[in-house]
Structure formats: structure tokens, C-alpha cells
């Protein structure tokens, strides 16, 4: 999504809810590849971030912990065809300031190469109920992490949540992409697993925010990639 640069325009804000998933059901994956994304940060501190991203729909790569984003960029450099630079503010209650612009792909690739702690992921797009969702399957230092996200043009309330979403991480800074660039998922995976298990045993409803209207949960998997 591309945003304009005027601070007083509501399109400068993204409204989203984000969820931790244990897996992405096979019924949501077809033979066409997802978008492969490599992104890097030149600032990721206190919720503020400057991000450079490149992506390709031509490369099909299985995510793994051994996957090296920089090596993949070198090996498939000509297959990346879109580049973006994004400025983000802190996220509060599912709302975050964001301005994104498409930039020359050659410049974007060089910036990604020169950054540190690159993030790599496959991004799937699907419809669930009345909403469009994206599901990111991470590799490298964040291997094993799957995040589903629903974004709207206004606050995401009264949401129908797919059954593959295990808990909500909308305002959990550990699971923001800029947070993951600094402290990757593999470094806190075991701790989070214990935390999640205790939360689900105590009260499964508490795993989802009650601040966004009424949540509904569906096992309907009749969605479209």
C-alpha cells in the first residue's frame, strides 16, 4: 500500500490487527509462489523506523533458519522488481503512522545490501470473510514465525478471526518487524512458547484483544489466495 506524505491525511495511518500463528494451512497455499520479501532497517528504535524493502513474485524459496537474505539477494538479484522506502511511527492500539514510497529497484537493492539484520519472509495474500489478510512466513533468524495481519482503511473492529490465529500480537512490540530486526524470534521463541501455553490454559479468550469491538471466530476455510 502506498501512502502520500501529508501528515493531516488519514491515509498516512495504517489500521491493522496482527496475530501469531502456529502454521499456515495447506488449503491457503496454491501452486503460484507468494511474494518473497527482503527488508532492512536504517532506524528501528522506540517504535520509529525507516525501512527499505524489495520484493519479487518470481522466486519460490522454502523458509529455513539457514537462509541468508544477503546471499539470496546476490543469487536472485535480477528477479526482484519492486523497491520501497517506508517511514513508520510507534504503533498504539492498532494504529500506526506510515508513509511509503516506491523507489528505484537498483537503489533499493543496494540499500538492503548495506543495512544490517535483514528480514526475509514469504508473504501470502488471502480473503477471509469480508477482509483481505496477509500472512508472513519468516525465515533466517526469525524462522518458525508466522504472522497473520488484517488491515483496513479505518480501525479494525468486530473482526472475524481465522482459526489458524492462536493469539493476538497487535501491540506486542516483540512481533513488529522492526522489533524482530533487533531481537529475532529465535532468541525468545522458547520463552514465548511457555508464556503462550500459560495464557491459553488460564483463559483462551484473553489471548485476543477485547479493545476492538466484538471478536468472532470461524473454522470456515473457504478463502481465496
Distance CA 164, CA 75 (A): 33
What phi and psi, each to the nearest 5 degrees, are found at residue 196?
Answer: -65, -45
Residue 8 pLDDT greater than 80, yes or no: no
Residue 93 pLDDT greater than 90, yes or no: no
Q: If pLDDT is split at 50, 70 and 90, which confidence band does 218 have?
A: confident
Specify if 3 maps to a domain.
Answer: no
**Could you read off the pLDDT of 146-198 as tens digits, one per residue?**
999 999 999 999 999 999 999 999 999 999 999 999 999 999 999 999 999 99
Distance CA 88, CA 126 (A): 24
CA–CA distances in Å: residue 216 to residues 33, 171, 207:
30, 19, 13
Q: 5-9, 77-81, 213-217 — which is least confidently predicted?
A: 5-9
What phi and psi, each to the nearest 5 degrees, are found at residue 132?
Answer: -85, 135
CA–CA distances in Å: residue 143 to residues 9, 37, 126, 150:
36, 14, 21, 21
Q: 106-110, 212-216, 217-221 — which is least confidently predicted?
A: 217-221
Specify if 75 maps to a domain.
Answer: yes
Instruction: Calculate the CA 53 to chain-centre distance.
Output: 12
Specify if 2 maps to a domain.
Answer: no
Residue 132 pLDDT greater than 50, yes or no: yes
Specify if 224 maps to a domain.
Answer: no
Instruction: Give me the domain span that covers residue 107.
Output: 13-218
Which CATH number does the domain housing residue 97 bear? Answer: 2.40.320.10
Specify if 8 maps to a domain.
Answer: no
Specify if 107 maps to a domain.
Answer: yes
Element (H, E) at 54: strand 48-56
Per-residue pLDDT at 6: 32
Q: What is the bridge-based pairing of β-strands 160-162 and 146-152?
A: unpaired
Per-residue pLDDT at 31: 58
**Average pLDDT across the chain, whole number:** 88
Count the domains in the chain.
Answer: 1
Amino acid at each position: 500500500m502506498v501512502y502520500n506524505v501529508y501528515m493531516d491525511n488519514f491515509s498516512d495511518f495504517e489500521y491493522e490487527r496482527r496475530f501469531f500463528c502456529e502454521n499456515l494451512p495447506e488449503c491457503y497455499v496454491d501452486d503460484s509462489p507468494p511474494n518473497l520479501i527482503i527488508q532492512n532497517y536504517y532506524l528501528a528504535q522506540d517504535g520509529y523506523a525507516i525501512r527499505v524493502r524489495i520484493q519479487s513474485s518470481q522466486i519460490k524459496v522454502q523458509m529455513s533458519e539457514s537462509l541468508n537474505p544477503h546471499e539470496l539477494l546476490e543469487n536472485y538479484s535480477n528477479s526482484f522488481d519492486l523497491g520501497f522506502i517506508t517511514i513508520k511511527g510507534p504503533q498504539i492500539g492498532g494504529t500506526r503512522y506510515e508513509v511509503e514510497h516506491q523507489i528505484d529497484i537498483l537503489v533499493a537493492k543496494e540499500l538492503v545490501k548495506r543495512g544490517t539484520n535483514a528480514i526475509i519472509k514469504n508473504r501470502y495474500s488471502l480473503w477471509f470473510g469480508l477482509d483481505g489478510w496477509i500472512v508472513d512466513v519468516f525465515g533466517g533468524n526469525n524462522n518458525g514465525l508466522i504472522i497473520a495481519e488484517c488491515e483496513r482503511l479505518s480501525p479494525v473492529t468486530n473482526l472475524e478471526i481465522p482459526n489458524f490465529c492462536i493469539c493476538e500480537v497487535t501491540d506486542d512490540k516483540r512481533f513488529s518487524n522492526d522489533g524482530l530486526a533487533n531481537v529475532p524470534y529465535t532468541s525468545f521463541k522458547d520463552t514465548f512458547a511457555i508464556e503462550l501455553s500459560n495464557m491459553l490454559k488460564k483463559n483462551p479468550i484473553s489471548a485476543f484483544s477485547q479493545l476492538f469491538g466484538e471478536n468472532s471466530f470461524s473454522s470456515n476455510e473457504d478463502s481465496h489466495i
